[in-house]
Each structure stands twice: as C-alpha cells, then as structure tokens.
Amino acid sequence: MSERRVVITGIGTINPLGNTIEEYFSNLEAGRSACAPITHFDTEKFKTKFACEVKNYNPTDYFDRKEVRHYDLFTQYALIASNQAVEDAAFDLEKLDKERCGVIWSSGIGGVKSFFDESVGYAEGGNTPRFSPFFVPRMIIDIAAGFISMRHGFMGPNYSIVSACASSNHAMINAMELVRYGRADVLVVGGSDATVNEVTIGAFNAMHALSTRNDEYRYASSPFDKNRDGFVVGEGGAALIFEDLDHALARGAKIYCEVVGGGYSADAYHFTAPHPEGRGAIKSMRDALRDAKLEPSDIDYINTHGTSTPLGDVAEIKALQEVFGEALPAINISSTKSMHGHLLGATGAVEALACVMALTRDVVPPTINCRELDPEIPSNLNLTLDRAQRRKVRATLSNTFGFGGHNSTLIFRKYESENNR
C-alpha cells in the first residue's frame, strides 16, 4: 500500500495573540507582544508577575454554566479551538464516516488548576474529605480528546500524547502517520494548556526557568537576546484538521498546506537542560527532512523552539548550523514565542499555525525583543528581527523540545497538486 498524502483542511485557535485565527494571524504578522501583568491570581508573593494570558475571555460566551463546571480551563480552550477547526473544514457531518475520524489532543499539564483548587479545598475543609464529582474528569489530560470526540461524534483513534513542551508536535506527527498509513481519514489534532496559575508560575519560579523582568515585561520574552533570563508562560490552544488528500479532494475541501515529514528523538542527557550541542535536536531535524524527502536548502522558514532561556536558544542554533550548514543564512528563522509566550504542551500546535500562515500568505512572522544579539549566535543568520518579512515560502520546519530531553520536528509544504510523494 502506497503512502497517502496528508493535508491540513481546517484550523482554529484561542491564544494570547487572538481568540480567532484572523486575530492571531494579524497580531503575529504585526509583531505584537501579548505579555502583560497577570490577572488570574494575586502575584504579590511571586517572583514573576506577568504572563501571556488569553484576552477578553468569558467561558459563558462559549459554554453554558453546567458545562463550565465540567470543564477545566485547558479543556475549554481545547473545545473552542477544535470547534473552530471543524467548522473551518466545512464537513458535511451527515455524510462523514465518523468511524474513520478521530482526535489526538495533547497538553503538558492538563487540569493542574483543578487539582490545586480541590487539594486546597480539602486541606482547608477539616477531617471530612469533600471533593467535587467533576474533579477527576476536569483534571486528567486525556479528557480533552474525549470531549472533542463527543462533541462531533468522532469514533476513530482517540487519545492524548504527553511529552512536556514537545507534546502537540508529537501528536501531529502521530496524526500524520495514522492518516498516511490508512488508519484514519480525518484527525482533529492539537494541544491546549491553562498554565497561568499559582502552581505553574510558582513551580517554574522555583526552577529559575521564568523571566523575572517585571519592570520591563513586554521585552521579557526575548529569544536570542544577550540578556534573556528565562521564558514567559502563555496559555491557550490550537487545533488543525489533518486529512487524507484524496478524501479532502473528494469533498471539495480547501487545503491550507501539506504535512510531509516528522522526526523525534531524545537527548538522553539531562532532565531539564538541553544537550549543549543540540545532539537530539540534530537527529530530530535530520529524520524529519529524510521523512519529507527534502534537502536542507528546500526549507524557507524555521519556527524555532526559541524559548528565551540562556541554554536552550544557543543549543538550538548550534543544531541548526549542523543540520543546515551553508544553507542556513538564506533561511528565515524566528521564534514566535517572543510574542505569544510559551504555551507548554500547546506550543507546537500554535506554532504550526504560524507555519500555515507563512505558507499560505508568503509572510514570515518576526522575532521581537532581541535588542542585543547573544555573541554566541552568528550575526549572519536571518532571525527575522522586529518585523515580518515577505518571501516565497515553499516549506517550513517547526521544532519543539521538552523537559526529559524530548525533541520533535515537523515539516509542512505548500500544497501543489503535482507534488508527488
């Protein structure tokens, strides 16, 4: 059986830069920062007092009050993004073979806020344990995939993949392979995390992983900058519809781009720090290029993991130099985390949408806030600083890496009917 081609036919998001695709793309292209003082809780006792929160969000605009009680915030974001994507794909749900449609949804930490609230409530409640009957289904990571499938009646593959900040990239690679090898025709794939809460901010502060530049928070997410001091937490979710090309053509679907390659690896080095020479990242990118049957010079845009951490940014650039060699200076590179922050397990899906924008609009989103380039990063690289750049984009590569040494790389290509695998 020959491999089937996999295309993206629907997209949706709710994230710090926008609660719709058009709002997200507009702010991404404009190079706007979503960073602002935290409003979700009182930050008086915390070292970091800012984050990239979803703006103008009221859950009752999307769900009735009974549903809100059932859904942790990460599940709310998952349902909003996936509903947008399914609607965008314009399926005739009455004609769709729902046994061939599935959901693969990721999160880095799931319902951690629900876990925190229930645990504090128990600790303050005396000797009698009183937990909400909705506690477990609000907390567990796989519940978002389950609720998405229930919403649309999709009965195919349904589960979650968790690999810290590499989670949704791994989910997309898995979805690509399931469609490619005939296990499903349509998959809703993506990730969501609701990370701006006391537990997440406090825990990452304890690790010294977050920026603490409270006096200039708009510049705090500054990938590749000499003075970067850690990442900025973001929240939200993003969804993409991965579909078999023939299935999409048969129903007259619009096609955003093609998903052509995936790679994954482990650093086998340290539980939080990346390998200093990017050893695992090198393997991940090379495997993705091999899978896509592309050469390094075929890539026009690289969306880096680029978290604004002192170790991570340099290690990733070293890996890019090793993989792309002399081709690298001609490739646009950027870190969109400089604008929307780090959405942990949802990051890969949100950044996949940046790649979709580059391919469909021939515009590369910028890296903002790099005021003084780290001397360890070559000055001849095109980091797409400060403003978006227009160019012909044929193929994009997106990296995400996670604690535990997890590495994942996806390659997307402009859809052309004559492209043959």
The per-residue pLDDT string of the chain (421 residues; one tens digit each, 9 = 90 and over) reads 578 999 999 999 999 999 999 999 999 999 999 999 999 999 999 999 999 999 999 999 999 999 999 999 999 999 999 999 999 999 999 999 999 999 999 999 999 999 999 888 887 776 677 888 889 999 999 999 999 999 999 999 999 999 999 999 999 999 999 999 999 999 999 999 999 999 999 999 999 999 999 999 999 999 999 999 999 999 999 999 999 999 999 999 999 999 999 999 999 999 989 999 999 999 999 999 999 999 999 999 999 999 999 999 999 999 999 999 999 999 999 999 999 999 999 999 999 999 999 999 999 999 999 999 999 999 999 999 999 999 999 999 999 999 999 999 999 999 987 655 4
Task: Report pLDDT for 126.
Answer: 65
165 tagged catalytic? yes
pTM of the full structure: 0.96
Catalytic residue among 152, 247, 275, 305: 305
Catalytic residue among 52, 101, 165, 370: 165
152 tagged catalytic? no
Task: Report pLDDT for 23.
Answer: 98
Task: Report pLDDT for 130.
Answer: 80
Task: Report pLDDT for 421.
Answer: 45
Task: Report pLDDT for 419.
Answer: 59
Catalytic residue among 152, 342, 370, 406: 342
Task: Report pLDDT for 418.
Answer: 63
305 tagged catalytic? yes
CB-neighbour burial class of residue 68 (10 A; exposed 0-12, middle 13-18, buried 19+) = middle
Phi, psi (degrees; rounded to nearest 5) at 227:
-105, 15
DSSP 115-150: HHHHHHHHHTSTTS----TTHHHHH-TTHHHHHHHH
